[in-house]
Structure formats: structure tokens, C-alpha cells
Amino acid sequence: MKPLFKNLFYILVTFIALTAIFSLFNSGKSPEVVSLSKLALEINEGKVKQITVTENELGLKLVDNTEQTAKKETDAPLTETLKNYGVSAEKLAGVNLEVKEVSGWRFWFATLLPFVFPLLIIGFFFWFMMRQAQRGSNQAFGFTKSLVRMIMPDDKNKPKATFKDVAGLIEAKEELEQVVEFLKEPKKFLALGAKIPKGILLVGPPGTGKTMLARSVAGEANVPFFHISGSEFVELFVGVGASRVRDTFALAKKSAPAILFIDELDAIGRHRGAGLGGGHDEREQTLNQILVEMDGFDPNTQVIVLAATNRPDILDPALLRPGRFDRRVILDLPDIKDREAILNIHAKGKPLTKDVKLRQIAERTPGFSGADLANLMNEAAILTAQKDKTEIGMEELIASIEKVMLGPERRSFVLTPKEKEIAAYHEAGHALVAASLPHMDPIRKISIISRGRAAGYTLKLPTEDKHFHSKTEFLEELSVLLGGYAAEKTVFNEITTGASNDLEKTTELARSLVTRWGMSENLGPVVFGDRDELVFLGKEISEQKNYSEEMASKIDKEIYVFIDNAYKKALDILKEKRALLNQIAKTLIEKEILEKEEFEALVAAG
């Protein structure tokens, strides 16, 4: 609970308790209070049946059973008082008079409460404030305590992850199997004098299951799992990062055998001295402390440090030296078989219709990470629920692929008729160029309903997972990327801002062709630029130029040639097939979405 809510909560409880106490003593609806003279009158009229005297309180019961109360003077006896008020003796004799002793606790309560109650309240507030103050000071001392999260092996609330929950990643799992064995039976290894790795680096793109795999190692070995993220170390408390490291390692050592997992190691492990803020910054001290701690492990320490990063290239070399993170486990994006397996894992507990073929979904999702696929299954479930269906079907799964890939559809983003026409020609241009080139994947879908940031989109269907790409493919890809631009130019003799994203991609691709893959005939197999990227500086600025100005202008010329040739090719195709382009665009304006079959029918007819 947040402190504010906690306070409110206490006040509320106190209030309720007080109300309860008071209502205990005043239960029922309170009877009418009458004066003594009225009472005297009532007795004389013969209305009163009974009087109960408790101290100075008179409880009256009338003949018609209504109840009243009155107060008598403190010292004078009641009969005396009533006589003074003119009550005749025989009338009084007709009234049933009863004197009650004040019960002990009630008496004490009544006399003490007025004194004790304020004291209680004051005491409560003092206690309350002391507690607050104490907590404050605890926080002041405790904020260097590590923010480490811990999962104990016998924790029932957190389901234990095992290798079974991780699909694919065969090599990574094999590698980590050793760690599991060591944690289970360290003696076996130590008896042989084997050195067990202290630090293992999990390397892979985001969403490939690094965090998950680390957890599952702990789950398999049945040991405590300490989890802290690199960015949390550096939460800008100067001087605290290092002591957090110390605390975290101390904690892990105390519960050895254990796994200590540092997520996003690159947040602290960047090359020292690479920061904008100069050398001795917070990050550097934190990093040093990690190195110190890891070196301080004696060989028998049964704590294994796992760390995850998607940027091994920027890690400080000191982290990677023997005795530190000297082992790497690579996690790749899943291939088609693994994608199917991941989909299967995340389909558990989700009812699917009989015709669902997860294999087909896997075929359509090259480049998806495990996290993307998990997300896809979830989106499909949400979509199905929205449609009030009870089983997830192929239709929902396919719709979710696009949602995960491109963001949600924005049907409310309305294009004017002119914009719609431009968008239709633009997408038709991409699609037609792609369909006319031999190495391009078939078109799966064309749409001019905007999605995420794109006004329209053309999806190609990769027929296989490719690990290598040829120059020919890249050149054709450049033409396809420029197909939208070329169509706008051909049809309207005008260019809109809609093509800007395509142009960025085109330039990026052409630059890579020349500077990274050695695909330029004139410049040959040379890699230009030292891609020693600094995250926060952005790629462009930090790319070290390790070539001359002269070379730079040659590179630019080569890039230009690639792009210009690709553009000409796209233009040629579109000019030659202008009638077909018109036909596709017209159909698109009408239907807004063209599926693979419809598009292919148009192309075949045209």
C-alpha cells in the first residue's frame, strides 16, 4: 500500500471503531427526554407504569408501552422530589419503582472514558508519527540496499520456469545444461578440479527469451534466482550503484548455490570512458564493482552470474576477460520450426478451432521474436473475445500477425479521395514492381487502410527463412522500395511526403550494400566505417570514419548509382505496365484491401 492510502486506511479504521463503540452504548432509537415536571404530570394522570432508577437516570415506561427518560437531581431521593412536584402519594404508589445498581464496568467506563479517550487518541497519533519517522529513516539507510528481486525455488506464487517452457534454442539450452548440473552437484565437478564458469553472457536480439532462459536455469537447478536489471543499478543515485552491486552479490552468496542474473548488462557494461559525461561517472564505478565482485569469487563459490545483452559489441572488454563473462550463449531469432514450437507453447490454455494450422502462422512470421509470437497469440485471443467467439480461428491469428507487425489499424484515419488515390497508386507501384521481378517474394496483401504510422502497406510473403541474401535480391529490393515513389511520379508527376519512409529505407539499404557487404563493383570487398556504436549518441554520429574524404565521396557516388539504377528499373516497369498499374490502383480504391489471390488474378489478367 502507498503511504497515503495507508494513512487514510488507519484513520478510517479508527473512525469505524469509535462509531461502533458509541453505538454500542446508545443502541436502539433514543427515547424522548422529559422534564421532571412533565413526569409529575404524567404520574398524576396515571400514565406511568414503571420507573427504573439508575443513578440519576430515570427510565420511564408508560401504560401505552412508550419509553421516555428523565433526569433527577443528584442527591435528593426520587420520591421526595416527585412529591415536591406535587405528585400525590396514592398515584405514586401505583407506579412500579425499581432502583438499579450501576454495574461496575459501566461505572468505570463512564467515569474514565472522558479522561482516557483523549489520551488514547494522542497516544495513537504519537505512535503513528514515530512509526512514520522510523520508516523514513529506514528508507534513508536502506536505499543502498540492492533492488534485487528474488525467486526462491519453493515459491508457490511464482510458477517455476523450466527448459520445457522455452521452445527451440537447442544450443543455448545445451550450454546451460552444464550450469544446471554444476549447481545440482558441485562436488562432482570440484573433485575433478574443474573450473566452472563464473559468468555467462546471454546474447541475442530483444524478445528472444534471454530473461526467460535465465529463469529457467534456476528453475531446472532448483536454486534461488536473483534478478536485477542493469538500468536499475544506474538509477542516478551517485555513489550508490557500486554499493548496490556489493549488496546484490553479498545476498546471492549468502544463499549459494544460486543464480544471479543481471539483465541489460549493456546499460552498465559499456566501454569505460565512452560516456558523454567524461570518465569517472557513476556507471564506471558500478562496472568496476561488478568486476571486483566477480574476481573476488573463490572457485568454490556456487554463485553463477548470468547476464543478458543485445549489444555485445559495446560491452567493455574487461567484462569479457577470462574469469568474468568468458562464455557466451547466443540466442538467435527463431526459425520456422522454433516459431511453430513457440506458438504451440503460447497456445496452451487457449482454445483453437480445428482448422488452425500454427505451422502456417509460423510460415508467415519470419523475423518475429519469441516475444512477438507470444504477443501474437495474445492479440488473437483478445480479438476473438471481442468478436464474442469461443475459439481462436485462423482469421484472428492472421489479423494479429499484421497487428503485431504494423500496429493497430486506424480506420478512423480518413484519407481524402485524392489522398486515397495517391496511396492506392503508391502501394500498387510497390506491388507491381515486386511482382515483375524474379527474385522477390510473392505479394501477400496490399492495403490502403492506415496502420500504425503507415498510410498503406504492401506485405510480401517470404517463402523461406533466409540466412544469406544475394546482391541481385538487394537490387530488386531497392526497386521495390522505390516502386511507390516511382508510381507517384509516373502517374501524378508529383511526389508526396508519403514516400519518405521508403526513401530512408532505400538509402540505408544502399549504404549497407556499399559500406558493409562489399557489393559495389568499383569499391570492392572493403568494409567502411568502424561500427563501434555508442547507444546514446545514435548510430549516425558515432560511426567512426576510418576512410578519407575522397573515399567518402566515392561511397556516396556508388550509393547514388545503386539507387538511381533501381529507380530507373522501377520506372521502366511501371511505364510498361501502366494499364495494369491503373487496374490495380482502381481495385484498391474500391476495396481498400487486396489479398494474394485477388492481386494475382489481376496480374494474370493484365
Partner whose footprint covers residue 72, from Zn ion, ligand ADP, Mg ion, none (CB < 5 to 8 Å by kind) = none
Asked about 379 being catalytic, the answer comes back as no
Of 463, 460, 532, 453, whose CA–CA distance to 500 is shortest?
Answer: 453
In the complex, what is the shortest distance from the CB of residue 226 to ligand ADP, in angstroms, rounded to a whole number?
16
Measured distance between the N- and C-terminal CA atoms of the chain, rounded to whole angstroms: 68
Partner whose footprint covers residue 258, from Mg ion, ligand ADP, Zn ion, none (CB < 5 to 8 Å by kind) = none
Extract long-range pairs of 466-470: CB within 8 Å, 24+ residues apart: 470/439
x/- track of binding to ligand ADP for residues 341-360 (CB under 6 A)? -x--x---------------
Tell me the residue nearest to ligand ADP as measured from the CB.
Answer: 370
Binding status of residue 371 toward ligand ADP by CB under 6 A? yes
Instruction: Report how far residue 429's alpha carbon sits from residue 441's, in angstroms, rounded to the nearest whole number.
Output: 15
Grid coordinates given for 545: 570514419
Which member of 53, 97, 190, 212 binds ligand ADP (CB under 6 A)? Answer: 212
Within 13 Å of residue 79, how many CA atoms lie on the same side as its CB?
A: 12
Strands 457-460 and 258-263: unpaired
Mapping DSSP to helix (H, G, I), strand (E, B) and coil, where does residue 288 land?
Answer: helix
Characterise 477 by phi-psi region: left (phi > 0), alpha (psi -120 to 50), beta (else): alpha
Residue 153 · residue 218 · CB < 8 Å: yes
Binding status of residue 309 toward ligand ADP by CB under 6 A? no
Dihedral through CA 168, CA 174, CA 179, CA 183, nearest 10?
A: 90
Partner whose footprint covers residue 197, from Zn ion, ligand ADP, Mg ion, none (CB < 5 to 8 Å by kind) = none
Residue 82 · residue 43 · CB < 8 Å: yes
Binding status of residue 312 toward ligand ADP by CB under 6 A? no
Which member of 51, 60, 146, 168 binds ligand ADP (CB under 6 A)? Answer: 168
Residue 259 · residue 214 · CB < 8 Å: yes
List, as one string, the DSSP characters of 511-530: HHHHHTS---TTT-S---SB
Which member of 40, 78, 166, 422 binds ligand ADP (CB under 6 A)? Answer: 166
The helix-helix angle for 549-576 and 417-436 (nearest 10°) equals 100
Binding status of residue 230 toward ligand ADP by CB under 6 A? no
Comparison of 269 and 484: residue with beta carbon closer to ligand ADP: 269
Applying CB under 5 A, which part among 7-15, 116-124, 203-211, 482-490 lies near Mg ion?
203-211
Partner whose footprint covers residue 97, from Mg ion, ligand ADP, Zn ion, none (CB < 5 to 8 Å by kind) = none
Query: Which ranges constitute the DSSP H helices of 368-442?
Result: 370-386, 394-406, 417-436
**Strand-pair partners of 258:** 303
Instruction: Report how far residue 214's alpha carbon sits from residue 301's, in angstroms, rounded to the nearest whole number.
Output: 19
Comparison of 212 and 551: residue with beta carbon closer to ligand ADP: 212
Site for Mg ion in 440-469 (CB under 5 A): none
**Strand-pair partners of 52:** 59, 98
In the complex, what is the shortest distance from the CB of residue 212 to Mg ion, in angstroms, rounded to a whole number?
8
Site for ligand ADP in 420-479 (CB under 6 A): none
In the complex, what is the shortest distance from the CB of residue 205 to Mg ion, in angstroms, rounded to a whole number?
11
Number of residues that bind ligand ADP (CB under 6 A): 18
In the complex, what is the shortest distance from the CB of residue 587 to Zn ion, in angstroms, rounded to a whole number?
18
Binding status of residue 208 toward ligand ADP by CB under 6 A? yes
x/- track of binding to Zn ion for residues 475-504 (CB under 5 A)? ---------x-----------------x--
Mapping DSSP to helix (H, G, I), strand (E, B) and coil, where does residue 261 land?
Answer: strand
Which member of 39, 68, 92, 207 binds ligand ADP (CB under 6 A)? Answer: 207
Instruction: Report how far residue 255's alpha carbon sits from residue 260's, in angstroms, rounded to the nearest whole number.
Output: 10
> Which candidate in 232, 284, 402, 427 is catalytic?
427
Comparison of 358 and 432: residue with beta carbon closer to ligand ADP: 358
All residues at 6 or more sequence positions from 368 whose CB lies less than 8 Å from its CB, including other chains: 333, 334, 339, 376, 404
Residue 171 · residue 330 · CB < 8 Å: yes
In the complex, what is the shortest distance from the CB of residue 577 to Zn ion, in angstroms, rounded to a whole number?
18
ω before 206 within 30° of 0 (cis)?
A: no
Which member of 61, 72, 198, 210 binds ligand ADP (CB under 6 A)? Answer: 210
Which member of 3, 94, 142, 206 binds ligand ADP (CB under 6 A)? Answer: 206
Comparison of 72 and 339: residue with beta carbon closer to ligand ADP: 339
Comparison of 240 and 260: residue with beta carbon closer to Mg ion: 260
Residues making contact with Zn ion (CB under 5 A): 484, 502
| Residues acting as catalytic residues | 427
Residues making contact with ligand ADP (CB under 6 A): 166-169, 204, 206-212, 308, 342, 345, 370-371, 374
